[in-house]
Chain A
Amino acid sequence: MTVANGPQLGVTLYSFTNEWLTRQFDLDTLMHEVARRGLGPNIEIIGFQSFKEFPDVSDRFAGTFKDLVAATGLNPVSLAINSDRFLRPGQQPIDDATLVEYHKRQLRSAKKLGFSLVRYQFALPVHLLPEIAPYAEDLGIRMGVEVHAPMWAGHPAVLAYREMYDKLQSPVLGWIPDFGGTATAIPPSLLDAARAAGAKESLIELVKEIWPEPGMSHEKAGKLREIALKAGHDPRHIQAVNLAFFILSNNDPKSWAELVDRTIHIHGKFYGVNEAGVEEAIPYDTILPLFRDGGFTGTIVSEWEGHAYCEADAFEQVRRHQAMCRRILADEPVAA
């Protein structure tokens, strides 16, 4: 049971990517299952994952979705939207006007579907915020930019956004921390999956060596790829370990303290919670108290990302993650 006026828990349907892609559930049955297992009521949905009509949902579909929300008792808190700038690989990004309109289409859909806020991305150039924020204000929907690995509170992109947030003083703009940016290590489960696929131990050592270095994700991935190809490693194994650069970085977990005041929503990213209730790659014991004690009362959605490399039971992983969060938020020690 979470404290009534502290951080609330929930789940992003992204955690159930494997069940979704294999067509085990459709939207109706997945939302009913989440409700039945008590993993809600707060949910996040990725527009482009769950809604075929996205980015322009029809009134008809919005009605269907609202009926589903009512039937399941779930609370649609966050809709994750995307900044799809590079529509043609290797070519110039789309122009600003098109990108602004792309965001507005998604904002309209989010509002129509009944979400309280959207998750947007740093892939939106900061100079376009003065055009988009007023639109969100008029619609009456909040926008949280996801601070995802490799970013952290002190990253230049975050600082640039912070400057713009200070300048605009908009009531709708905030942060959505993703804890993958402050991981302590590459998840052992990710490395084990690479090993199971045949990756040699020398490749595992290489990614562990390069991972903590400064630099952009694709630069580090490119560096590893070059060294590993010369050393004769299989490109598929290289791709498997390179995933680590795009989803995790090892910035200081205490740095989240600088973002608490404008945090409107949180991605509780995790890779594997063991039976003792401890997450393998991310220091929740350090991070959660920062938000609880800093006065955050929004939702932390459990975001299991192990589906990118393994087929564990997502529902069980989310259950464990929520139990772990409850324990930490209530300040209970780990069972011996």
Chain B
Amino acid sequence: MVVPAERVIGEEGLRATPAGLRLAMRLPWYRSLPFSTVAVASVVIDGEPVDLTDVRVEFDDHSWSLAELAEATNVFWFIRDSAFLVMPQACAEPGSEHSVTLTLNVAPPYIPGMIRTNPETATLTVA
């Protein structure tokens, strides 16, 4: 059983967009954290790892590459809000169903020595 503070797949699920598949993500912690303390470790769709080279992470007005995400020390992922992973290397038909495994790593900035790995698998229908 995954408690709420371990969940990484967001309620908004998976959506097909012109820029690629868009996956909702939740921060697996109990308080907001700077985006630089979070890493997208992997995405696997139907057993196939997704190439994360060109992905973007979107939140409010922001859009980052993974390299830019690691530098985002002064933007906070509000614990109640979803961020979105846009994957140009992944596409799927609206209405199709897929098994999605997302893994986020979190290093809380006030607890030296702690890195948490949070995988979650869900079957999602593409909007």
Q: How far is the CA of A128 from the CA of B3 in the complex (A)?
A: 37
Residues in B whose Cβ lies below 8 Å from that of A308:
3, 5, 30
Q: Given A85-B110, A218-B114 in contact, is the A17-B5 Cβ separation under 8 Å? A: yes
Q: How far is the CA of A308 from the CA of B118 in the complex (A)?
A: 13
Contact between chains at B5 and A307 (CB < 8 Å): yes
Q: How far is the CA of A90 from the CA of B107 in the complex (A)?
A: 9
**Contact digits for A59-81, partner B, Cβ 8 Å, 1 yes 0 no:** 00000000000000000000000
Contact between chains at A89 and B107 (CB < 8 Å): yes
Stretch at the interface among A33-41, A45-53, A109-117: A45-53
**Contact digits for B89-119, partner A, Cβ 8 Å, 1 yes 0 no:** 0000000000000000001011111111101
- Whether B125 sits at the interface, judged by CB under 8 Å, is no
User: On chain B, which size bracket covers the interface?
Assistant: 20 to 34
DSSP majority for the B interface?
Answer: loop
Q: How far is the CA of A88 from the CA of B36 in the complex (A)?
A: 6
One of B31, B39, B107 near A48 (C-beta < 8 A): B31
Q: How far is the CA of A183 from the CA of B31 in the complex (A)?
A: 24
How distant is B2 from chain A, measured CB to nearest CB, in Å? 9
Residues in B whose Cβ lies below 8 Å from that of A315:
none
Residues in B whose Cβ lies below 8 Å from that of A130:
none
Residues in A whose Cβ lies below 8 Å from that of B107:
86, 89-90
- Whether B78 sits at the interface, judged by CB under 8 Å, is yes
Contact between chains at A89 and B37 (CB < 8 Å): yes
Q: How far is the CA of A236 from the CA of B80 in the complex (A)?
A: 24
Contact between chains at B73 and A216 (CB < 8 Å): no
One of B1, B26, B110 near A84 (C-beta < 8 A): B110
User: On chain A, which size bracket covers the interface?
Assistant: 35 or more
Contact between chains at A85 and B5 (CB < 8 Å): no
- Whether B4 sits at the interface, judged by CB under 8 Å, is yes
Residues in B whose Cβ lies below 8 Å from that of A87:
34, 36-37, 73, 109
- Whether A3 sits at the interface, judged by CB under 8 Å, is no
One of A22, A89, A196 near B1 (C-beta < 8 A): A196
Contact between chains at B109 and A84 (CB < 8 Å): yes
Q: Given A49-B79, A309-B3 in contact, is the A218-B113 Cβ separation under 8 Å? A: yes
Contact between chains at B80 and A23 (CB < 8 Å): yes
**Contact digits for A82-98, partner B, Cβ 8 Å, 1 yes 0 no:** 11111111100000000
**Contact digits for A218-243, partner B, Cβ 8 Å, 1 yes 0 no:** 11011000000000000110010000
Contact between chains at A83 and B80 (CB < 8 Å): no
Q: How far is the CA of A325 from the CA of B112 in the complex (A)?
A: 33
- Whether A161 sits at the interface, judged by CB under 8 Å, is no
How distant is B101 from chain A, measured CB to nearest CB, in Å? 13
Contact between chains at B110 and A239 (CB < 8 Å): no
How distant is A217 from chain B, measured CB to nearest CB, in Å? 7
- Whether A165 sits at the interface, judged by CB under 8 Å, is no
Residues in B whose Cβ lies below 8 Å from that of A49:
30-32, 79
Residues in A whose Cβ lies below 8 Å from that of B112:
85-86, 123, 218
Q: How far is the CA of A307 from the CA of B2 in the complex (A)?
A: 11
Contact between chains at A21 and B37 (CB < 8 Å): no
Chain B CB within 10 Å, residue with most, of A46, A83, A84, A246: A84
Q: How far is the CA of A18 from the CA of B2 in the complex (A)?
A: 11
Q: How far is the CA of A272 from the CA of B120 in the complex (A)?
A: 27
**Contact digits for A174-207, partner B, Cβ 8 Å, 1 yes 0 no:** 0000000000000000000100110000000000
- Whether A275 sits at the interface, judged by CB under 8 Å, is no
Residues in B whose Cβ lies below 8 Å from that of A18:
3-5
Residues in A whose Cβ lies below 8 Å from that of B26:
21
Q: Given A49-B32, A239-B116, A239-B117 in contact, is the A311-B110 Cβ separation under 8 Å? A: no
Residues of B within 8 A of A (CB): 1, 3-5, 7, 11, 26, 30-34, 36-37, 39, 70-71, 73, 76, 78-81, 107, 109-117, 119
A-B contact pairs, 13 of them (CB 8 A): A17-B5, A23-B11, A48-B31, A49-B32, A82-B109, A82-B110, A85-B112, A87-B36, A235-B117, A236-B119, A308-B3, A308-B30, A310-B3
* Known pairs A90-B107, A218-B113, A221-B114 / 15 extra A-B pairs, C-beta < 8 Å: A17-B4, A46-B30, A48-B33, A49-B31, A52-B80, A83-B110, A85-B112, A86-B109, A87-B36, A89-B107, A121-B110, A197-B1, A218-B114, A246-B111, A309-B3
